[in-house]
Amino acid sequence: MAERYFDDFKVGERFSTATKTVTQDMIVEFAKVYDPQPFHIDPAAAKHSIFGGLIASGFQTLALGFRLFWDTGLFKAASMGSPGFDELRWLKPVRPGDTLRVEMEVTESRPSQSKPDRGIIRAGFRILNQNSEAVLTFNSMHLLKRKLD
Amino acid sequence: MAERYFDDFKVGERFSTATKTVTQDMIVEFAKVYDPQPFHIDPAAAKHSIFGGLIASGFQTLALGFRLFWDTGLFKAASMGSPGFDELRWLKPVRPGDTLRVEMEVTESRPSQSKPDRGIIRAGFRILNQNSEAVLTFNSMHLLKRKLD
């Protein structure tokens, strides 16, 4: 893939990622460190929770979705990190065996006023399961390098 | 600590957490799985990035902050998960050796209209470093059980 920089991302462009299947081991391993709520780490307790079974930490779903996007290579040359995300909504539980993929659409593009070497794009992310149900959506900002001549 | 339920959280209440020191190993281990940008996994590459050295993935900072809050026990009895977070802002890099803590303030409280066993609180989270600089702020929603007689 050709290297992409800030100016290569156009409003309305859409990208999609490969898939990743989430396992019970992954869910429990992450949650033990970062989010040890019973419905993330204990299958028996999870069964009696409102979720009716083990579900992934929402932080893990978020990070896995970003990893899927990162692996497209689209941000590899230009990423300078993110100032922030807005409107994260966890819409459906992610359960062991679910297969996730990500759709991303560029919604805004703005060169930096003060720093000519960079710009900010906004993007809408949708993390979908194998039934094409959105499990997590959010709007992100990304600081991207410009390709200077 | 006494068990807390939805009705025990009052708007304006503030809570603070214990601290956690972030190590280079933690940063690299997390980022290799979830966010393998060079400035999160490669100290040499990070030195030449805009950050001037290795920094933690923002997803790790978020999850570590939640873990610190979870460990207060305040949500242990009542947590039913989160519908979403808003206005995440990564304000300062988190570097190896930084010590994080969290301040949380309840900003809104609303019983569910349709389900009498639960309510939603909104909270403002601030993740601070050892210099009391905010490294990440966000506004969260939490679904909490009510204590029914």
Tell me the pTM: 0.97
pLDDT tens figures, A104-137: 999 999 999 999 999 999 999 999 999 999 999 9
Of the residues A22, A86, A94, A117, the best mutation for testing chain B's interface (the one with the most B CB atoms within 10 Å of its CB) is A86
Mean pLDDT to the nearest integer, B13-37: 98
pLDDT tens figures, A55-66: 999 999 999 999
- Count CB atoms within 10 A of the CB of residue B132: 9
Select from A37, A85, A89 the Cβ nearest to the Cβ of B83: A89
Residue A2 scores a pLDDT above 90: no
Q: What is the residue-wise DSSP string for B97-132?
A: T-EEEEEEEEEEEEE-SS-TTEEEEEEEEEEE-TTS
Chain A residue numbers touching B39 (CB-CB < 8 A): 81
Residue A82's nearest CA partner among B91, B134, B48, B85 is B91
pLDDT tens figures, B44-90: 999 999 999 999 999 999 999 999 999 999 999 999 999 999 999 99
A88 and B90 in contact by Cβ < 8 A? no
Using DSSP, state whether A74 is helix, strand or coil.
Answer: coil
Complex confidence, ipTM: 0.96
Domains of chain A: 6-145 (3.10.129.10)
From CA A129, how far away is CA A135, in angstroms rounded? 7
Chain B residue numbers touching A31 (CB-CB < 8 A): none
From CA B35, how far away is CA B39, in angstroms rounded? 10
